[in-house]
Amino acid sequence: MRSDSVKTGAQQAPHRSLFNALGYTEEERKRPMIGIVSSYNEIVPGHMNLDKIVEAVKLGVAMAGGMPVVFPAIAVCDGIAMGHIGMKYSLVTRDLIADSTECMALAHGFDGLVMVPNCDKNVPGLLMAAARLNIPAIFCSGGPMLAGRVKGEKRSLSSMFEAVGSVAAGTMSMEELCEFEEKVCPTCGSCSGMYTANSMNCLTEALGMGLKGNGTIPAVYSERIRLAKHAGMKIMELVEKDIKPRDIMTEKAFLNALRMDMALGCSTNSMLHLPAIAHEAGVELDLEVANKLSADTPNLCHLAPAGPTYMEDLNEAGGIYAVMNELSKKGLLYTDLMTVTGKTVGENIKGCINKNPEVIRPLENPYSETGGIAVLKGNLAPDSCVVKRSAVVPQMMVHEGPARVFDCEEDAIEAIKGGKIVEGDVVVIRYEGPKGGPGMREMLNPTSAIAGMGLGASVALITDGRFSGASRGASIGHVSPEAAVGGPIALVEEGDIISINIPENTINMKVPEEELEKRREKWQPREPKVTTGYLSRYRELVTSGNRGAILEIPHK
Indicate if the pLDDT at residue 363 is higher than 70. yes
Using DSSP bridges, classify how beta strands 398-406 and 497-501 pair: parallel, antiparallel or unpaired.
Answer: antiparallel
Residue-wise pLDDT for 340-356, tens only, equals 999 999 999 999 999 99
**Residue 468 annotated in active site:** yes
Residue-wise pLDDT for 89-130, tens only, equals 999 999 999 999 999 999 999 999 999 999 999 999 999 999
Residue-wise pLDDT for 514-529, tens only, equals 999 999 999 999 999 8
Indicate if the pLDDT at residue 169 is higher than 90. no
Residue-wise pLDDT for 391-428, tens only, equals 999 999 999 999 999 999 999 999 998 999 999 999 99
CB-CB contact of 76 with 125 (8 Å) = no
How many CB atoms within 10 Å of residue 12? 17
Which residues fall within 8 angstroms of residue 56, CB to CB, at 6 or more apart? 225, 226, 228, 229, 232
Q: Write down the catalytic residue from 468, 471, 475, 544.
A: 468
pLDDT at 168: 84
Q: Can you tell me the mean pLDDT for 375-384?
A: 97
Residue-wise pLDDT for 455-488, tens only, equals 999 999 999 999 987 788 899 999 999 999 999 9
Q: Can you tell me the mean pLDDT for 255-281?
A: 97
Full-model pTM: 0.96
Stated as kind and residue range, the H or E segment containing 477 is: strand 475-480
Alpha-helix runs per DSSP H in 301-433: 311-316, 319-328, 345-349, 409-417
